[in-house]
Structure 1
Amino acid sequence: MIVSIVLCFLMSLVITFFVLAGNGFSLVSVFYGIFLLALYSGMTFSEARKKGSGSVFRRIFLITFAVLFCISFIGSLFDERGSMAITSEAMAGSELPFCHIVIPQVLLPFLITNSIIFPARVSGHYASIASMLGIWLMFTLTIGRGWCGWVCFYGGWDEAFSRAAKKKRVNLLSRNREIRDFQFGFLFFIVLACIGTMSAVYCSWFCPFKLVTEFSPMTTIEGLIAGVVFIGLFLGLAVVLPFLTKRRTQCSSLCPFGAFASLTDRVSIFKMGIDTEKCIGCLKCANACPFGAIDIATIRQKKTSPELTCAKCGECISVCPAHAISYQFRFAAKCKIPEPSSGFEKGIRSFLDPANLFRFAAFSFGTVMSGNFAVDSISRILGSL
């Protein structure tokens, strides 16, 4: 109980600094700050009572963040351009927002040609290249691909529609490996295509979320074709398939950043671990995983971790009847730790538990990333009433 209170107090400091102070302690920022603290407190105290029971709070936050992000983003586009269409002036002035999905597309072309192929500002903008690379480096070293499960302001759309149905209509469990292989193959294709064309190919032709952010004007045949593709991909991969499969299909099959984050996740502090001695082989975790990161083979071969694409969302923990899955430190020494000799030592050890630290880090990232967008969105909604 004391550890949960301390964690909530620390989160209140994060919220105060990045949400309230960052928005001038406006009434809307206070409202959103209370909402965030309520979510984190609910998750923390729920997890203290029963491991995995706090997953619902993660879902609520991610979905809320995704919707509010798009409202703010689209509103800003209309303020600046009068529409969601990308203008020639924005392209010429390199003023397009640089999002995390662009990162794997620009790295190799930059190393080869020493030039940025995406028309974004290097610095001095809320979504500049420098700021997004800095954010990417920080979460890569800490929560890793946990970004996809906790913070991604696009993934919340997949999350929402995957939770809309009560049960699966299509079971993809037997196809997990093929889907993962396709995602990594698609990443390889996109990187080669970007090098060959010296342009962000995924953004131009394959990103489903152009439909809820910005897109090229549909005034040419090329623009019209791209628009039809964007609409089809969004409806198919972010709406219909998540609804039918109860899985994050866009995130686990097409997103090049998700595949890239899976590769760089090896340097992050946290990972998910499977206690093979506790595991009873029920496969509930495999059926619950929204990223297809646990296979039948994962359990039967007694692997001690999920597969490479694990996004550390914790859904497997919430359904495991044997409590065999947990957050772990990736680089922890494998030695037996003696039992705590006092209540204080027990409290410190509980505070430093990887599950507590990971959830705190992931939610803090979400708080920082959502602070300005969410407050702006709520203000716009209230202003339109």
Structure 2
Amino acid sequence: MTVHPVPALTPVPRTMAALRIEAPDRVVPARLPVPVPGPGEALIRTALVGLCGTDLELLRGTATYLRDGRAGYPLVPGHEWTGTVVTGGPEFAPGDRVVGRTMVHCGLCRSCRRGRRELCERLTEVGLYGRQGAAAEYLTMPQTALVRVPDEVGDRAAALVEPAVTVVGALERANCRLEDRVAVVGTGTIGLLAVQLAARLAGSVDAVGIDPAGLALALRFGARRAFAPAGAADREYSLVVEASGAAPAFRRALGLLADGGRLAVIGVAGEPAEGFVPGELALRGLSVTGVRHGVDHYDQTLELFRSGVLDAEPLIAAELPPAEGPSAFDRLRRGRAGAPKILLDFGGTR
């Protein structure tokens, strides 16, 4: 377990190191003003930040948030992170290690009041739209959006809590249970976390993907079998988790389901699923659940890392300083030949 040393909490400087996307295909190290927390907010000293496919879409200019106008350049990315409280309030003391909910909800709209906070009508998302991301030495967060990290959970695991909460929420909403035969489509970070959890909850789990290294990791994490898409048997699984975010994978996932099966869609495909026939859902009695985020599953997910049900270490390919942020994005562009996750270490920049 790795816990980064807590940096000196005072004095807070006026400027900070950050990584900023300035335009499509242009990401640069930058010096920015340290943000000032507003009422009810805490100032956080960032330790580790994970980069993912959504960050790469922001860099490429293809992210939904850019296309629909919620986000614009320049922006500081980073929604998978852990850090230390510098200034807080009644609930959080300086030095507390925390993770933050990506989705910051208002608590007042109709969706929030009916318990669907991930569908908040005034939603902002850290590092995506409405709030500065964590790819910087400091960020501010509402204290209501912070979750304390147990001492037994290292920083590297804490940095992966954000993608893991959606996996936990997805398997809960899909009612994953011991009698299920599960297939996970996609062997990136989210897919491999889904394999780990399904291996504990279901009777069996298989992995379906196109990356040999990801398939090998899936077997290490408890998958019974690991296939390329063409090698998986049709109509064999009672539950399929689509975690790849590729449009063709949605159609393949439906084909893997036994009649009466359930499909949990975590991956976000931005193109039509060619060949999808809606009547198939009715005639075969299939259920499809879209899972936007596991906003209410942070404490539960931290416990899964603490107890060893989820293991972050084999998922992490590299831990790089912020100055190497542009090369980290280059690695994401090229794809991988091993573990999927790249972390940026902001804990050692001062």
The TM-score with structure 2 as length reference comes to 0.27
Kindly name which structure, 1 or 2, has the bigger radius of gyration based on alpha carbons. Answer: 1
> Per residue, is there more strand in 1 or in 2?
2
- TM value normalised by structure 1: 0.26
Comparing both structures, which one devotes a greater share of its residues to helix?
Answer: 1
Higher relative contact order (CA 8 A, sep 6+): 1
